[in-house]
Homo-oligomer: A and B are copies of this chain.
Amino acid sequence: MSRALPQVEPDPGLPSRVTVYEVGPRDGLQNESATVPTEVKAELVRRLVAAGLDTVETTSFVHPDWVPQLADAADLLDLLGDEGRGPRRPVLVPNVRGLDRALESGVGAVAIFGSATETFARKNLGRGLAESVAMFAPVVERARAEGLWVRAYVSMCFGDPWEGPVPVPQVVDACRRLMDLGCHQLSIGDTIGVGTVGHVHRLLDALGAAGIGPERVGVHFHDTYGQALANTMAALRDGVTVVDASAGGLGGCPYARSATGNLATEDLVWTLDGAGVETGVDLDALVETSTWLAGRLGRPSPSRVVTALAG
């Protein structure tokens, strides 16, 4: 079944169209140990766009000491030119300094990276939840004033490695505070991959009740416990239409105990193609891209679809 494409049998419980939000170049590569040359990153972004990915998060303007893998953010955007700009080529910015650098590079969209838990906020952002929202406020304000599209990631929405289960009202509160800053879209993240389908429904219900409907929400699942695709499908049945995924499963190694891989874009697109849900993505071109990049990274892709189709 080399180069087989999924058979189409529409599922009436799913939306007719889904936006795949490709996080591979940023979230994927920042978690890869290999150093990837800037030219290769640029080619990756170009290929992903050519394969039909609607939104591609290109890089991060986090301080190079924190994420050395993406220290070449400005160079990458220079190389990409117009292809790396516009409202559907977001970059991550951690604070106002990062936003300044991103604006100098001419970006049209940014993402901030918040937390649903106090502990992760302190570990990842160096400050508590309230202080981190205060830190993000001028970032979002200035970004909006510059006409940028703004996304807020919320991590640890389903569990936290230090705090354990995270109460749904606490997650809703964190989401509400970030949306109140003026963000256009949330991405609710199961950073450690522990969530299951009932939990997805419950959180989306609670967000809806708090005035954050599924049209404002993207979902970001990790496959640590094999749940990413099942959880994604549960969210789509609840009306979500934006799904984060990483080409070839970039950023996660399935052979490691602490695998924290993102949902592989190919595995998601296989499902959506088969269920008659439009994504605009050319699965064949995407598999070729991930196979090419796996060669550059010197290891096989953890995506099941890439493994099955490539070679």
Contacts and interface: CB of A to CB of B under 8 A. Distances in A.
Contacts of A161: 1
Contacts of A198: 8-11, 14, 274-276
State the copy count for this chain: 2
Contact of A196 (B9, B258, B264): B9
A282 B276 CA distance: 37
Interface string A226-262: 1101101110000000000000000000111111000
Q: A interface, how many residues as a size bin? A: 35 or more
A308 interface: yes
A308 B10 contact: no
Contacts of A227: 229, 267, 270-271, 274
B165 A7 contact: yes
A159 to B, nearest CB: 6
A305 interface: yes
Contact of A229 (B226, B259, B273, B276): B226
B6 A255 contact: no
A27 interface: no
Contact of A255 (B158, B195, B300): B300
5 contacts: A6-B196, A10-B198, A197-B271, A226-B304, A226-B305
